[in-house]
Structures are given as structure tokens and as C-alpha cells.
Amino acid sequence: MLDSTVSALVVQGGGQKGAFAAGVLDQFKRQEYDPFSLYLGTSAGALNIAAFIAGQTGLALDFIMNYTTNQRFFDFNKFVNKQQPMDLDWAFQFVESGEFPLDIKKGKEKLEQLHRGRKREALACVTHVEELKDYYYPIFEDNWFDILRATSAIPVLYFDDIEFDGATWVDGGVTSTIPVHEAYRRGATELVVITTEPIMNETPFVNEQQLANEKLLVNEKPLANENQSQPKPPSQFSLGIESGIDQFVEKYGLVGHVSRLNEFHQQFSQAVERVKSNYPSLAVPSLTMPSLSTPSLLRKSGNINWVPEVEKLANLLKEQ
């Protein structure tokens, strides 16, 4: 019998801040908490959802901590010199064929299992370049590799075109960092939203009482000094992003969408500056991490229950 209740899991993007969601989802998995029939994620959130559905505890956290923090993934010197700074293909090859690849088969099998008489669905948010509109693609289809790359392909940092279905796609965070509205459009009646940012202003139709009675919002607490910092001149990184947006607009003829791209640029730059100010011991955007040739605890133990660099991870997740 088909249950009218549709429970949705929505996971925010946010690059390395996805470590927070990865930790939450790993705990969900350990507690066998998975009452969902709809899963929606953007950027790192999509990868977190993929690992959660495939039952691979620790995979997303390992990817975020050991690959996205490596200079090979993001090279600031290349960015300054107008070269492609983000090597998304290098990073995602580990998700596709590394020592602990994403288990696509297991993910598909999980989605085929009915929940409350309803088939499960897992979707990644991607942005249509010409329309600058959010679209949602199944994560565990044959083109899953392109889907996960596209939802993480930050404009002006990743230059290569990712094309499928006759269109070019970029980071879903340009249009919907927290795809809550899409969950409602798809009939969700119960929501679990994992985010590092407040979402109340973005979803005025959800009041606090509803959240208390019907929803669960897993939210990282705002940093105490977040609203106390004085305005600073734009950094070299921020100026570089602004220049890159101009090139992006010219490349795809997006003159009518400049304001939306500038809004994305502002949010992205502010996020980088927050990380720099709150984690001064870490080099941003390239965090100081050990060489990938150094065996990690994960690889030594032969399982994926945890990752190395516990102290740095604790700092990133201290509000969890």
C-alpha cells in the first residue's frame, strides 16, 4: 500500500564544508537511520548522499579530507596565472576507480528497494549554463560520473565543459545550494536538511513550530565572530573570481545573468574568507595536508570507518 508520506533528505553543497554533512550521514548510517524515499544534494552534498546510499561510511569524508585539500585538486598559483586551478577529473578518478570507489551497483540496489510502497530516488542538482536554472539528475545512472563532476564544477575555477543531454552544466550551487524547494515540488511532506547555513529566510513557508513538530534540521552553529568582523578590501582570490566571471559570461554569452553570477561570486568569496579567518592555521584555499603517498589510517586498516588527520577534522567539525 502506498503511503502518502514522502520523507526527503536534503544535503547542502559547500566544498570542504561538506565534511560536516559527511560526519552527520556517517552517524546516520551507524544508527541505521534512513527513513527516506527522496534524496537531494548539491555539489559535495550529492557525493555525500551517494556514499550514504551505497552504505560506504567514511568514503565522502575521505574524499573531502584527503583529495579536495590536496594542492593537485586546487592550485592557487595556476588560478593567479589564469590557468585552470581545479583538477576535478583527477579527484573524481578516485571516486570512480580508486582504492575505495563508489559502489554504484549497491547504490542502485538500495534505490530499487521500496520504502513505504514508494520507489526511492536520489538526485544531484546541476546548473544549466545557458538558462542558469537548476535541474536534477539521478545520481546512480550510467552517466553518474558526469553528474557528480557537473554538480561540483565551480564556474571560473573549472574550465572544461561538462556536456550531456545536449547542454553544458556547472555547479548546482550557482542556482540551488540547498535544494529544499525542489524537495517540496516533488511532494516531500517530511524533511531532514543538513546544512551549515541558516535556511529559515530561504523557506518562509516553513515556520519554527513546523520544524519542531514535523522536520529535523541538522545545522552547524554559526561561528561566534561571523557577524563581528569588519569589512576588508577584496582579496586577490576574490578579485580573481570576479575576473573569471567576466570570462565565463563572455564564453557562454550570459550577459542577462551577470547579477546572478555576481551573487554566486559574492557568496563563494565570503565563504573562502570565513574559512581563512576562522581557521588561521590552515592554508586556504589549499589546505596543508600530507602527501597522498603517505598511507592513511583508512588504507592501513583496510576499512572506511574513519580517516586520518583527526585534529584538523575535529576543527572543521567542532560545531557538529
**CB pairs under 8 A, 24+ apart, for 293-300?**
296/62, 296/66, 298/58, 298/62, 298/100, 299/99
- Residue 219 has which C-alpha cell? 545545522
Of the candidates 198, 186, 192, 194, which has an alpha carbon nearest to the alpha carbon of residue 211? 192
Amino acid at 113: Q
* C-beta separation of 258 from 266 below 8 A: no
b (16+ CB within 10 A) / e for 25-43: bbebbeeeebebbbbbbbb
Active site residue 4: no
Active site residue 142: no
Residue from 152, 171, 238, 286 carrying the catalytic annotation: 171
- Distance (Å, whole) CA 313 – CA 198: 22
Is-cis flag, bond preceding 155, omega within 30? Answer: no
DSSP string, 80-148: HTTS--B-HHHHHHHHHHSSS---HHHHHHHHHSEETTEE-EEEEEEEETTTTEEEEEETTSTTHHHHH
- Distance (Å, whole) CA 59 – CA 194: 18
Residue entry with cell 600530507 = 290
Amino acid at 311: E
- Distance (Å, whole) CA 176 – CA 253: 21
- Distance (Å, whole) CA 148 – CA 122: 12
Residue from 37, 43, 152, 286 carrying the catalytic annotation: 43
User: Which residues are known to be catalytic?
Assistant: 43, 171
